[in-house]
Amino acid sequence: MTVEIIAAYATALCLLGGSFFILVGVIGLLKFNDPMTRLHAPTKVGTLGIGMLLLASMIHSIVLGAVSVHEVLIMAFLFVTAPISAHFIAKIAIHGRTCDNPPPPPRDDTWSTLSIPKEGRKVAGLPDS
């Protein structure tokens, strides 16, 4: 097998994988009802799909000998802006009261620290303190 054939298979695999992830993102966008569940489909799965399509474009352009950094810049821009836009959509949904608020955290001193409760210390074999 030559490098061109291997690159063609890699390009086809990236195109198929990217198309699958974009299709899953579109179905998720259409299927989910509220904005909080709906924003996961285009931001998570869609970003991965677009990234795979851009990777296929990069592989194909390298085989042709026309190396370009446009795909890398597009991927960097996409990976930076997708989480920010998802955060803004979530904040708008929370402040607009169009979704349920997340449940409050439990009222103990271990949920956000590295403290281990006394019964957990016994199980782990740690001394009581």
Report if residue 9 sits inside a domain.
Answer: yes
Q: Which two structure tokens, joined as six digits, stand for 7?
A: 């690159």
Report if residue 116 sits inside a domain.
Answer: no
* Residue 100 identity: D
Q: pLDDT truncated to tens, each residue of the chain (129 aa)?
A: 898 999 999 999 999 999 999 999 888 888 888 777 788 777 888 889 999 999 999 999 999 888 888 888 998 998 888 888 888 888 887 777 766 666 666 666 656 665 666 666 666 666 665
DSSP letter assigned to residue 65: T
Q: Is 66 exposed, middle or buried (0-12, 13-18, 19+ CB in 10 A)?
A: exposed
Report if residue 124 sits inside a domain.
Answer: no
Angle at 82 between CA 15 and CA 19, to 5 degrees: 15
Instruction: Note the pTM of the prediction, 2 decimals.
Output: 0.69
Residue-range definition of the domain harbouring residue 69: 3-103
Report if residue 127 sits inside a domain.
Answer: no
Report if residue 75 sits inside a domain.
Answer: yes
Report if residue 110 sits inside a domain.
Answer: no
Report if residue 125 sits inside a domain.
Answer: no
The total of structural domains in the chain comes to 1
